[in-house]
Every structure is written in C-alpha cells, then in structure tokens.
Chain A
Amino acid sequence: EAQVTQNPRYLITVTGKKLTVTCSQNMNHEYMSWYRQDPGLGLRQIYYSMNVEVTDKGDVPEGYKVSRKEKRNFPLILESPSPNQTSLYFCASRPGTGDGYTFGSGTRLTVV
C-alpha cells in the first residue's frame, strides 16, 4: 500500500531532550515536507526537500533540523525541544511539482 509512515504517533518528552520523528514513504516521491498543525493556525511548513541532499526552510524552521540522505526517509530532529513546539506534526510527500501531497497520520508531540 502506498503510504507515508510516521513514528511515533504520540510522544511526550521533557524540555531539552533531543528527539527524532521518523518519516518514510514508499512511493519514490521526489518531494517531502514537514508541517505542524496548531489550533487556529492551520498547517505551517517547517522544512521541505526536493530531492536527496536538497532541503530548504519553510515558514517556521526555528528549532528544527531535517536531513534527506535517502529518497524514502525524511526525519525531523528537535535538538532541544521547548514547550512551544508542542504540536501535531505531519510528514507529507508528492511526486513532483504541482502534485498533491500524501500525508502521514501525524505525530502528536507534547513537550513539558
């Protein structure tokens, strides 16, 4: 089944403890993105990648890192999480320019 898989689905962590949210797609898509969803703010893009080793900042990149060493994987790294990064995170991928995204099921992160 064609899908984007995120792990974990739920995560509670403490301020300052480094964490990684994994994202993998099995559709050979070129483009991958990370979004965060907050009530009343909709989806805001954190980082995106247009291909292996090609990444760029989205609208809210502060406090996040990404890497794209393989086409299928696009992990999101929080080096020192803070409570304002408590949010619902989505990974998404698409084949190319102008195509719609396929989204993962989301990761609900709570930083205390």
Chain B
Amino acid sequence: AQSVTQPDIHITVSEGASLELRCNYSYGATPYLFWYVQSPGQGLQLLLKYFSGDTLVQGIKGFEAEFKRSQSSFNLRKPSVHWSDAAEYFCAVGRSGGSYIPTFGRGTSLIVHP
C-alpha cells in the first residue's frame, strides 16, 4: 500500500525568505505525486503534479517541486514567500489499481512572519 509522510507539522518563515516543504512517499512503482494548498476556510487547490518527464515541476503561485526517486521525495519549494502563502499544504500520492486514487499526507501548516 502506498503512503505519504510530511515530516513537518508546522513551518515558520519570514516574508521574502525561501521555503521548502518536505514530502516522502512509499510506493513500489512510479507514483503520481501532487501538492495542494488549503487556505483558511476553503477547499484544497491543486498547486502542481508529477508523473513522468522532467523531475522539476513548475506549478501555480510561483511554486515548484522536485521529484527525487532515490530519496522517495517530492519536496515543494518557493524562492520568496509572501504573506498570502500562509496556509496548509498537502502532499498526495496516487496509487495504482486502475484508478490512481490519491492518498494524502497529514499536511504542513505554513506560518509567515512579516
């Protein structure tokens, strides 16, 4: 069975600083990988996804993520954080079986200090 781990429950950064949110997955084959963002009181929004090809994936809102097969990781990065980036971030891995139903990590809460 697949699983996904987000090791950091909370991350605090200063506005303008760089950001990296960690995601590790466990899956036997090449998985589908996703990052979502959830702003307070709202549903989740897809930031980016990866399945194959270039291991550095560009997403919306200036985010990118890098797939590293050797480390089973799919970390999310942003070079300069804005106060509006404060939110909950979820990594998800899609499992096989014909439907690639994703399993979500428990989330990382991003706090941005002015």
Instruction: Specify which of B36, B43, B44, B51 is in contact with A98 (CB 8 Å cutoff).
Output: B51
B101 and A48 within 8 A (CB) = yes
Closest to A43 in B: B104
A50 within 8 A of B: yes
Closest to A106 in B: B43
B45 and A97 within 8 A (CB) = no
Given A42-B90, A43-B90, A101–B46 Cβ distance below 8 Å? yes
A104 within 8 A of B: yes
A74 within 8 A of B: no
Q: How large is the interface on A (under 10, 10 to 19, 20 to 34, 35 or more residues)?
A: 20 to 34
Q: How large is the interface on B (under 10, 10 to 19, 20 to 34, 35 or more residues)?
A: 20 to 34
A105 and B43 within 8 A (CB) = yes
Given A41-B106, A98-B94, A31–B42 Cβ distance below 8 Å? no
Could you tell me the distance between the alpha carbons of A102 and B36 in the complex, rounded to whole angstroms?
10
B32 to chain A minimum Cβ distance, whole angstroms, is 5
A103 and B104 within 8 A (CB) = no
Within 8 A of B (CB), among A46-92: 48, 50, 58-59, 90, 92
B34 and A97 within 8 A (CB) = no
Given A42-B104, A43-B104, A50-B99, A103–B44 Cβ distance below 8 Å? yes
Chain A residues whose C-beta falls within 8 Å of the C-beta of B42 in the assembled complex = 105-106
Identify 26 residue pairs between A and B in the complex whose beta-carbon atoms are under 8 Å apart, listed by A's number.
A33-B101, A42-B90, A42-B104, A42-B106, A43-B90, A43-B104, A45-B103, A48-B101, A50-B99, A58-B101, A59-B103, A90-B44, A98-B94, A99-B49, A100-B36, A100-B49, A101-B36, A101-B44, A101-B46, A103-B36, A103-B45, A104-B43, A105-B42, A105-B43, A106-B42, A106-B43
- A residues engaging B (CB < 8 A)? 4, 31, 33, 35, 40-45, 48, 50, 58-59, 90, 92, 97-106
- B residues engaging A (CB < 8 A)? 32, 34, 36, 42-46, 49, 51, 90, 94, 98-107
